[in-house]
Structure 1
Amino acid sequence: MAKEIVDQEDISLEDNQLVCVITGEIKKVKAQEVNLQSVALMLNEEYGFDLADMERDFKIEYTDPDTSKQKKQKVELVVFEQGKPHEQEFISRICIIHDDKVKDTDKTKGLAATLENAMGAVESCEFGLWANGSSYHFLQKEEDALGFDSEFTDLSDFPGEGETLEDLDRADRSSSRKPANDSLIKVFKRSHDYIYGNEGRKKDAFWQLLYLIFCKLYDEKRKFIPSEDSYRRKFWVGVKEKNTAEGCKKVADRIKSLFKELKDDRIFSEVFSGSEEIELRDKGLAFIASDLAKYSFLDASIDVKGTAYETIVSNTLKQEAGQFFTPRNIVKAMVEMLNPSEHDRVLDPACGSGGFLVMVLDHVRKQIAKELYPDLEGPLLTEKFSSFEVNERVRQYAENSIFGFDFDPDLKKAARMNMVMAGDGHANIFHVNSLEYPNWEHPDEIAKINNAVNRSLMAMKDIATTNGIDAREKFDIIFTNPPFGAKVKVERSIIYKEDGTLNYKLGQYSDAPEVLFIEACYNFLKPGGKMAIVLPDGILGNPNTEKVREWILEKFKILGSIDLAVEAFLPQVGVQASLLFLQKKTEIERQLAQDSEQEYDVFMAIAEKLGKDRRGNPIYLRDEDGLELLFDTETKYIVNKKNGQKEVKTRREKLKQLDDDLPKIVEEFFNFLKEK
């Protein structure tokens, strides 16, 4: 999917308003309305139904069987047969949409009272959807044996434009739907909540869901295994399979055998220890698998997968560890500004769940795809991101060039999973305290790091072999957001050697971890290597850290500095921070700097707006009166036809734009480089 802002319309919105994607009308922001917009976009992009064939708030007429009186029922959203008049006899899909307070068993608004009644009144409509934002029910209408009454069957999905129910049930179906909008986030959250609430697995709901997610990923990756002559899905659920105990058992057996297979796979064995088991009941497993099976994870964008993954990780590992994600827009800006390529070895020495590494992988993936398919653009190019040729190059790059260290073993595992989610084979993620490298108390892990670095040197034909065989002075680029704050203590033994001399020169000025990490990063960088680091403003401005700044100026060339608004890490933690971009001086550059004072220009910027407020709510561009601006936007997306053909479609819509200074700052940074 590709979006291009065409121009700005003279329309503004109040805070509680949105523009309907179907009608273009301004509507009040309510939970039900938001759900309706989400369903409309889902039907458009994932199922291939044109917005022109949809209508909202449509009144269906029917005869009450008890009183024989004519009645009307208002339906939130209907889809008509392609190109046909918007009349009841041409309705092909009926969608009942509520907010999440309405339950599917509600006597007046629930499944039977609304969807079944409406579908029964429309002879042409075989399929329907009941949704409340957190629960989705797909129904099929069939006549009973005598042909008098309608029977309704619960489905795992219904067909899209030009599809049949049989198409969904084919095991040789090679592609699933590409998730649009917030679909994958909702599926992940819905699945997690189901395991947590219905399976009695409050302690390991997160891990049980991840096992299923990785089964799905592994199943999709099987398409690229040379021995797989004819790819047939194993992670799939027949449209009616979850409705019987026998069907649920078949699904469970199929997926559990897939999980055993993936644990022996070279890629996934790096993520799992081998003792893990899927321990959900057959019914719960089939329910969740039917939701996950609808979507292609490989085809989903990094933003979609990353946000969905972070949504569930942030509610478990991160909060338990007292750590928080670096916001994606900050990560993206840092990566774009240093612009890593396929020839750069990259490290995050405090990688957490791998946000920087995944963004680097995505950045390089786009470069590779453009190189391999120079004539493609927009959604046709985006589709190639998951092609075998691109995936193979990305896998090799990740295996050779991307490294992550973290002190938390659970976050190491989460980072590896995140990398696999991003489409990489595996990456070099290690459990180590970067401040103690190379003298950490676990020599086996240090040996693994050194071996991986040396394999990387050989694979990349890198002649940089300074300092023997370890990881110091081996990295071209470092991205990191090191732990900082008064609560994070660094042991004295890390700063000082047994004889009392310093391991870290900066240790004589400060024992703060963020200060020591600057020197650790310096040690890991090649001469001439670059780094982007998040630092609290105190280091850059407080009088008592002047010596730290002098050390930085001696060792590095300052490429740029971006002062972040206080909202940057809120609502998780309030800290005034900056992004610092540095380049390690070569020995010659250091000597020249000592001989004479060298002046050079430094890029500096202030990011006053970061697209969110202090509570984490999104903020949008506004006009002089404080009203949110709307921009006329073209959205291009691909619809897969039944005959295997692909069609690029365009949707014009009026969208708000986040009030975020970072994309503009990145653009100005490259203008600054051109002018130097």
Structure 2
Amino acid sequence: MTAGGQFFGTSLENSIVDIEDLENRQKPKKLPSSLLRSEEDVRVKIINPYLKTLGFDLDKDSFHEETIAFTIGTRQYTLDLRGRSDTIIRVHNKNLVVVEAKRYEHSLTRKDWEELRSFVYALINKDETIPRYAVLTNGHKCVIRDLHLNKWLRKIPEKKDILATFDTKILITEIERDVARKKVFTQASEEKLINIVSKTEEYLREEGYDGEKAFVEFAKILLTKINEDKRFAEGKISRFEKDVILDLEEKTNKEISEIINELFNDAKNEFSSIFNPNDRILLESRNVILKIVKIYEPYILYRLDFDLFGIVYEKFFADIFKGKTGKFFTPREIVEFMVEFADLEIGDRICDPACGSGGFLTRAYKNLRAQVSDLVAGGEDLESHDLIRFIEDQCIIGNDIDVHLVTLTKLNMVIHGDGWNNIYRSDVFQIDNSPLTDWHGSIDVILTNPPFSLPISGDKLKDYRFGRGKEEAISDLLFVERCYRLLRLGGRLLIVLPSGWTNNPDDQYFRDYLYEHWIEIATISLPEGVFKPFGGSGAKTVILYLKKPLNQNDKQGDVLKINISHVGYDHRSKHYKKIPWDDLNKVLQLDEFVKFKQKLYLEREKDRRYRELRKRLIKYAK
């Protein structure tokens, strides 16, 4: 288990309660899963009847709206709730309890909780207090949080208990309120953000920017927006707003292009080394700049909870990469599963040697950051916390050969908070004079989806078992070798590869290499076409979970082999379309995987580095 899991009994994972184990006197009614086909079924058939047993009159005490209107600054916004399934309890006209339902077969995740928490913070009462209780449930498991006392609970509060402590308050500032509202508006408007990325690309193309040129301009503008969102979250005025820029134009008599470049200069100073000091936003059209600023106004991109840059990667790099370098966007469902499957712990050094848009690194960073959030006392400044600094400075390592993808990954890390200090541009297969070589033997976990089956040639082949004496070698084999060198003893590799390497008779030599040098933990066989909606082929792929042996006594054990049929989106379609069936989450609940995590925890206990780090972490436990 992770440092935020069993080791400290305060994390989300350890706070998930079986509904039958709730400490309430009355238990929720248990229904067969066949009657619970949707989130709304869980809400209507389990949550609401149970809330009635706790003393709530849902006709008077609750509301379930399709939309909520609120103000951010001077602008009015409407939040569409039709995609959510929530019951919001009001007492004396104040929102006090928010219960969100998930599908019965859905495994509760940290991302679910983060989204619910942002939603709760957006439901500010007129007296500037936030709702006190947040409940997340799939009908058989639940998570309950007292947001005023900042602790996990094992019972849903009854109405009489709430009335007894009704005067308990937690006030938030106007800035905190507006940041929360922008965050939940952004989360609820993911499809709109995707459309806005397309709209931005269209505006740039009209001005003569396309392909790589368009991406570079877009990246500069986006960094400017991210920095202004960061300023806004820190209590300063966001200048990335149309009215503010027009006001600056009138007061300073400067061109709009000059004003936006002054904001860009501030962003470059805040996030140094992403762009060169002399770089400028070349876009000059006053009208286009104002249009781009206007469409991004309602959203907050700093600490975004989904991979916007995966979308950017697809939009701006489709024609540059697809079918030429074997690079395809890794679907978020696959990324999130692999990160959870890795069972990360604070202190793990995590690397993606072919990071693309940085999807694995940003998700791993968010995972570790959330564990820190579980540990530190309520109210502490998470931004300056030494554990966060430790993760950002030492625990996230990325690499890609393409300069634009390196920029993209750095921006992706910035948009999620930080951690971009160790993102390099280099040829992953080059050993000599490579920044990755400095990390050899020190990486704990590699999460990666490298380009498939590219021909590699040149002098660098001499450094590889599968390249020596050859004029050309397949990239997949060399990549696995490089990962082995990067990992420390006991380190783990989670990699997406063509499935032929695991079952093609002609590739037995590769499997012999695996048996000789690695311990196989799991082989997760993905359905054909998982990359098809993202421009890839319909080839069948697998997720290999391998371990570099800790010592001579570390031997091969039973291997978890699973065939996945559904991954949460339609893998047969050329276009991304979510579906309610997802077998990946079920893997995380298997007894075999739980046993492996327990074994991994004990291995870490024997590692001096982890023992020392855990002693250091104890002081932060709540």
Q: TM-score, normalised by structure 1?
A: 0.58
Q: Which whole-Å CA distance do the structure 2 matches of 1:577 and 1:599 have between them?
A: 23
Instruction: Give the letter aligned to residue 673 of structure 1.
Output: F
Q: Which whole-Å CA distance do the structure 1 matches of 2:314 and 2:225 have between them?
A: 21
Deviation at 1:239, TM superposition (A): 8.2
Instruction: Give the letter aligned to residue 539 of structure 1.
Output: W
Which of the residues 332, 335, 350 maps onto 1:346?
350
Q: Which whole-Å CA distance do the structure 1 matches of 2:312 and 2:287 have between them?
A: 22
Q: Which whole-Å CA distance do the structure 2 matches of 1:314 and 1:50 have between them?
A: 27
Match runs of 1:407-486 below 5 Å: 407-437=401-431, 439=432, 443=433, 446=434, 470-485=438-453
Equivalent residue number for residue 46 of structure 2: none
Q: Which whole-Å CA distance do the structure 2 matches of 1:273 and 1:247 have between them?
A: 24
Instruction: Give the letter aligned to residue 334 of structure 1.
Output: M
Equivalent residue number for residue 607 of structure 2: none
Which of the residues 493, 502, 512 maps onto 1:550?
512
Q: Which whole-Å CA distance do the structure 2 matches of 1:667 and 1:273 have between them?
A: 49
On the 8 A contact 1:399/1:425 being kept in 2, the answer is: yes
2:525 is paired with a residue whose SS is strand
On the 8 A contact 2:336/2:363 being kept in 1, the answer is: yes
1:418 is paired with a residue whose SS is helix
Match runs of 1:64-75 below 5 Å: none
On the 8 A contact 2:249/2:256 being kept in 1, the answer is: no
User: Is 2:230 aligned against 1:221?
Assistant: yes
Q: Which whole-Å CA distance do the structure 2 matches of 1:536 and 1:50 have between them?
A: 42
Match runs of 1:49-198 below 5 Å: 177-178=182-183, 179-181=186-188, 182=190, 183-197=192-206
Q: Which whole-Å CA distance do the structure 2 matches of 1:247 and 1:567 have between them?
A: 55
Q: Which whole-Å CA distance do the structure 2 matches of 1:354 and 1:193 have between them?
A: 24
On the 8 A contact 1:237/1:251 being kept in 2, the answer is: no
Deviation digits for residues 278-332 of structure 1 (CA, Å, limit 9, x no counterpart): 423122212211222322222531x2xx1x3222321222430222111111111
Instruction: Give the letter aligned to residue 388 of structure 1.
Output: E
Which blocks of at least 5 consecutive residues in structure 2 are unaligned? 1-11, 20-27, 41-64, 83-92, 94-172, 600-622
Deviation digits for residues 575-616 of structure 1 (CA, Å, limit 9, x no counterpart): 2111111110134237xxxxxxx5621111111112213224
Equivalent residue number for residue 164 of structure 2: none
Which of the residues 385, 396, 407 maps onto 1:402?
396
User: Is 2:399 aligned against 1:388?
Assistant: no
Deviation digits for residues 170-221 of structure 1 (CA, Å, limit 9, x no counterpart): 9x98777221322332333323322323x33335333323222211211233
> CA distance change for structure 1 residues 505 and 355 in 2, over 3 Å: closer, same or farther?
same
Which of the residues 234, 237, 240 maps onto 1:235?
240
1:479 is paired with a residue whose SS is strand
Instruction: Give the letter aligned to residue 557 of structure 1.
Output: I
Equivalent residue number for residue 317 of structure 2: 317
Q: Which whole-Å CA distance do the structure 2 matches of 1:246 and 1:412 have between them?
A: 38
Deviation at 1:413, TM superposition (A): 1.8
Instruction: Give the letter aligned to residue 670 of structure 1.
Output: F
Deviation at 1:548, TM superposition (A): 1.6
Deviation at 1:238, TM superposition (A): 2.1
User: Is 2:611 aligned against 1:604?
Assistant: no
Q: Which whole-Å CA distance do the structure 2 matches of 1:397 and 1:482 have between them?
A: 24
Q: Which whole-Å CA distance do the structure 2 matches of 1:243 and 1:234 have between them?
A: 9
Equivalent residue number for residue 616 of structure 2: none
User: Is 2:456 aligned against 1:490?
Assistant: yes
Match runs of 1:280-295 below 5 Å: 280-295=284-299
2:220 is paired with a residue whose SS is helix
> CA distance change for structure 1 residues 52 and 275 in 2, over 3 Å: closer, same or farther?
closer
Deviation at 1:482, TM superposition (A): 1.8
Which blocks of at least 5 consecutive residues in structure 1 are unaligned? 20-38, 54-82, 84-166, 377-383, 451-469, 497-501, 591-597, 621-656
User: Is 2:515 aligned against 1:577?
Assistant: no
Match runs of 1:620-659 below 5 Å: 658-659=580-581
On the 8 A contact 1:42/1:180 being kept in 2, the answer is: no
Q: Which whole-Å CA distance do the structure 2 matches of 1:280 and 1:417 have between them?
A: 23
Q: Which whole-Å CA distance do the structure 2 matches of 1:618 and 1:312 have between them?
A: 15
Q: Which whole-Å CA distance do the structure 2 matches of 1:40 and 1:251 have between them?
A: 39
Deviation at 1:403, TM superposition (A): 0.9
> CA distance change for structure 1 residues 254 and 195 in 2, over 3 Å: closer, same or farther?
same
Q: Which whole-Å CA distance do the structure 2 matches of 1:224 and 1:246 have between them?
A: 25
2:364 is paired with a residue whose SS is helix
Count of residue correspondences: 446
User: Is 2:593 aligned against 1:670?
Assistant: yes
Equivalent residue number for residue 454 of structure 1: none
Equivalent residue number for residue 209 of structure 2: 201
> CA distance change for structure 1 residues 244 and 424 in 2, over 3 Å: closer, same or farther?
closer
Q: Which whole-Å CA distance do the structure 1 matches of 2:226 and 2:79 have between them?
A: 30
Instruction: Give the letter aligned to residue 309 of structure 1.
Output: F
> CA distance change for structure 1 residues 477 and 12 in 2, over 3 Å: closer, same or farther?
closer
On the 8 A contact 1:610/1:660 being kept in 2, the answer is: yes
Identity across matched positions, percent: 24
Q: Which whole-Å CA distance do the structure 2 matches of 1:51 and 1:273 have between them?
A: 41
Structure whose CA Rg is larger? 1
Instruction: Give the stretch that moved more between structures: 503-512 or 314-323.
Output: 503-512
On the 8 A contact 2:353/2:399 being kept in 1, the answer is: yes
Question: Which structure ranks higher in relative contact order (CA pairs < 8 Å, sequence separation ≥ 6)?
Answer: 1
User: Is 2:268 aligned against 1:263?
Assistant: yes
Equivalent residue number for residue 561 of structure 1: 523
Deviation digits for residues 315-364 of structure 1 (CA, Å, limit 9, x no counterpart): 22243022211111111111111122220111111111211111111111
Q: Which whole-Å CA distance do the structure 2 matches of 1:492 and 1:244 have between them?
A: 55
On the 8 A contact 1:263/1:274 being kept in 2, the answer is: no
Q: Which whole-Å CA distance do the structure 2 matches of 1:581 and 1:568 have between them?
A: 18
2:482 is paired with a residue whose SS is helix
Q: Which whole-Å CA distance do the structure 1 matches of 2:573 and 2:389 have between them?
A: 38
> CA distance change for structure 1 residues 387 and 546 in 2, over 3 Å: closer, same or farther?
same
On the 8 A contact 2:67/2:81 being kept in 1, the answer is: no
Deviation digits for residues 358-380 of structure 1 (CA, Å, limit 9, x no counterpart): 11111112211122257x9xxxx
Deviation at 1:244, TM superposition (A): 10
Q: TM-score, normalised by structure 2?
A: 0.62
Instruction: Give the letter aligned to residue 215 of structure 2.
Output: F
> CA distance change for structure 1 residues 395 and 609 in 2, over 3 Å: closer, same or farther?
same
Deviation at 1:518, TM superposition (A): 1.1
> CA distance change for structure 1 residues 364 and 51 in 2, over 3 Å: closer, same or farther?
closer
RMSD: 4.3
On the 8 A contact 1:41/1:180 being kept in 2, the answer is: no
1:220 is paired with a residue whose SS is helix
Q: Which whole-Å CA distance do the structure 2 matches of 1:11 and 1:420 have between them?
A: 40
Which of the residues 583, 602, 606 maps onto 1:661?
583
User: Is 2:479 aligned against 1:517?
Assistant: yes
Deviation digits for residues 491-513 of structure 1 (CA, Å, limit 9, x no counterpart): 053223xxxxx632576899211
On the 8 A contact 1:555/1:584 being kept in 2, the answer is: yes
Instruction: Give the letter aligned to residue 593 of structure 2.
Output: F
2:187 is paired with a residue whose SS is coil
Instruction: Give the letter aligned to residue 448 of structure 2.
Output: T
> CA distance change for structure 1 residues 587 and 45 in 2, over 3 Å: closer, same or farther?
farther
Q: Which whole-Å CA distance do the structure 1 matches of 2:303 and 2:294 have between them?
A: 18
> CA distance change for structure 1 residues 213 and 387 in 2, over 3 Å: closer, same or farther?
farther
Q: Which whole-Å CA distance do the structure 2 matches of 1:51 and 1:315 have between them?
A: 26
